[in-house]
């Protein structure tokens, strides 16, 4: 499908609000990228423009995926269109506030400062974030009981949406990690009502680009992994579809659907593992023996499940051969 075809389908399915959001996020990402180069102000040791850049890219990717997905024929399109509009409007407002706070050289999330802009912005967050969560949950529930493509694609969409909802829900856990006091880019002391890190403050060293903690647990990791589970599931379905023309045992739609179920369970297991690791105050890049053992068990179980699906597919193919 060409870009022009996709654009036409988005317009015809009335997903224009999502398209506008994607365009706005793309433009914001470019502005933030320039800000990284020309503005040397920092908060918590990183550029003030890094956070809005990450949010803009994330929302652009998610919004584009959601817009494409909702062009597929499905029942309840009136409701999914309404929820997509809620998501688009709320996303623009929320990420817009993050960008405004970056321009002001201060914090967007958890900021308890009593200036007017921040006070209004925190109210926006308290009402906007649940809107994003509920909109995605409603879309997931509407699509759960219907087929929106072939079986592998349908399974990818169902699993991906609920992984994304789980990832959004994990973001709320950051609100229970305790307060911290720090300074913003203007040197003003700011008390933050919560933090991303577990066992350490957010001022500790972080990984390049993501800034995930390298000295403690970090709840942004499972939040990110869950949120983008939808893209991973869809890519998985696409890869299987491409490979089906080259690998005989993947030609069956049922086999590919079974593999999508394996991928979804494996991804959910990884999400649970990363959440567990973060709550134990353990950095992503410094797993202990227990974490590595759990990861090894997950990989082994996944490999066995794939092998079982393949064996069943090849057996069915052999039985059907003589006929």
Which residues in the chain belong to E strands, given as ranges? 42-43, 46-47, 180-183, 189-192, 197-198, 217-218
Determine the Cα–Cα distance for residues 43 and 106; give it in Å rounded to an integer.
7
Task: For residue 220, give the DSSP letter.
Answer: H
* Distance of alpha carbon 181 from alpha carbon 191, whole angstroms: 4
Kindly give, in sequence order, each residue whose CB lies less than 8 Å from that of residue 37, ignoring residues fewer than 6 positions away: none
| Local confidence band at 196 (pLDDT 50, 70, 90 cut-offs) | confident
Residue 8 confidence (pLDDT) above 70: no
User: In degrees rounded to 5, what are phi and psi of residue 182?
Assistant: -150, -170
Alpha-carbon 209 to chain mean position:
16
User: Rounded mean pLDDT of the chain?
Assistant: 89
pLDDT-based confidence at residue 312 (cuts at 50, 70, 90): very high
* pLDDT at 321 exceeding the cut of 90: no
The predicted structure's pLDDT at residue 323: 46
| DSSP, res 126 | H
Confidence (pLDDT) at 229: 94
pLDDT digits (tens, 9 = 90+) for 255-269: 999 999 999 999 999
217 pLDDT above the threshold of 90 = yes
């Amino acid at each position: 499908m060409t870009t022009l075809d996709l654009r036409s389908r988005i317009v015809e399915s009335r997903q224009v609000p999502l398209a506008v959001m994607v365009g706005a996020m793309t433009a914001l990402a470019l502005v933030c990228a320039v800000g990284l180069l020309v503005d040397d102000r920092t908060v918590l040791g990183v550029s003030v423009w890094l956070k809005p850049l990450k949010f803009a890219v994330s929302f652009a990717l998610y919004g584009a995926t959601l817009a494409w997905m909702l062009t597929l024929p499905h029942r309840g399109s009136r409701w999914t269109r309404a929820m997509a509009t809620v998501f688009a409007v709320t996303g623009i407002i929320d990420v817009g506030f993050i960008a405004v706070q970056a321009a002001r050289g201060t914090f967007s999330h958890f900021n308890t400062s009593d200036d007017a802009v921040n006070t209004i912005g925190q109210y926006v967050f308290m009402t906007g974030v649940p809107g994003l969560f509920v909109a995605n949950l409603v879309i997931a529930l509407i699509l759960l009981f219907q087929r929106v493509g072939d079986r592998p694609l349908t399974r990818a969409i169902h699993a991906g949406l609920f992984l994304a909802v789980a990832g959004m829900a994990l973001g709320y856990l950051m609100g229970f990690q305790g307060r911290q006091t720090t300074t913003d880019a203007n040197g003003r002391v700011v008390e933050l009502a919560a933090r991303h890190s577990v066992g350490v403050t957010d001022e500790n060293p972080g990984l390049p680009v993501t800034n995930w903690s390298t000295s403690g647990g970090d709840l942004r990791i499972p939040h990110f992994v869950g949120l983008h589970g939808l893209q991973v599931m869809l890519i998985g379905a696409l890869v299987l579809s491409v490979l089906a023309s080259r690998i005989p045992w993947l030609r069956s739609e049922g086999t590919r659907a079974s593999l999508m179920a394996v991928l979804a369970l494996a991804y959910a297991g990884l999400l649970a593992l990363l959440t567990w690791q973060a709550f134990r105050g353990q950095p992503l890049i410094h797993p202990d023996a227990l974490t590595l053992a759990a990861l090894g068990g997950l990989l082994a179980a996944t490999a066995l499940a794939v092998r079982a699906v393949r064996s069943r597919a090849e057996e069915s193919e052999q039985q059907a051969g003589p006929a």
